[in-house]
Amino acid sequence: MTMAPEDSATDDSHTDDARTDDHRTDDGQPPMEAFRYSDGSITYPGHPVGPDGEEPVGTVDLSEYTARVITWTTATATPPGVRQPNHLAIVEFDVDGEPVRAIGQLTAGDVESGDEVRPVYCEELRDPEAGIREPASQDWDGYRFEPV
């Protein structure tokens, strides 16, 4: 069962500029932004072109939906700067009949495949300074999935 909010943006002239922290939700948190393409497909994360080879035509804020756990794991051997253990899941949102998958941390390890989860915002998912990737090269906040 998923909630069904309206699209957070449906700007046909969508560009990468839409993918910034300036697009904040009402509670001041950045959206969990997926891209919608002209063939109706939606991907998280967004890509410069979609499965149809065309540029995206809008965005969807997945943080306003719930999702279903497809599969999950608990990793005990984690890289530098990552919590240990690290509960992870691949989940699937249903956005008006269009399936959209995402991967992310779980708030807890007591889940089963098929469980319903909701995204909850986290300011820092791992320590940007501890790993091999250049800290300035990407965002480090995002959404964990919490069992409903």
Rank residues 24 and 83 by Cβ distance to another protein and give the closer one: 83
Rank residues 33 and 64 by Cβ distance to another protein and give the closer one: 33
Taking the complex as a whole, the smallest distance from the CB of residue 15 to another protein amounts, in Å, to: 19
For another protein, the binding residues (CB under 8 A) are: 43-45, 70-83, 86, 88-90, 101-105, 113, 125-126, 131-133, 137-142
Taking the complex as a whole, the smallest distance from the CB of residue 135 to another protein amounts, in Å, to: 11
How far apart CA 112 and CA 2 sit, in angstroms, is 17
3-state secondary structure of 99: strand
Distances (CA, A) of 15 to 48, 71, 145: 9, 32, 28
Rank residues 17 and 141 by Cβ distance to another protein and give the closer one: 141
Rank residues 95 and 102 by Cβ distance to another protein and give the closer one: 102
Rounded to 5 degrees, φ, ψ at 86 are -115, 110
Taking the complex as a whole, the smallest distance from the CB of residue 91 to another protein amounts, in Å, to: 9
How far apart CA 138 and CA 9 sit, in angstroms, is 23
Rounded to 10 degrees, the C-alpha dihedral 71/65/145/73 comes to: 10
Taking the complex as a whole, the smallest distance from the CB of residue 77 to another protein amounts, in Å, to: 5
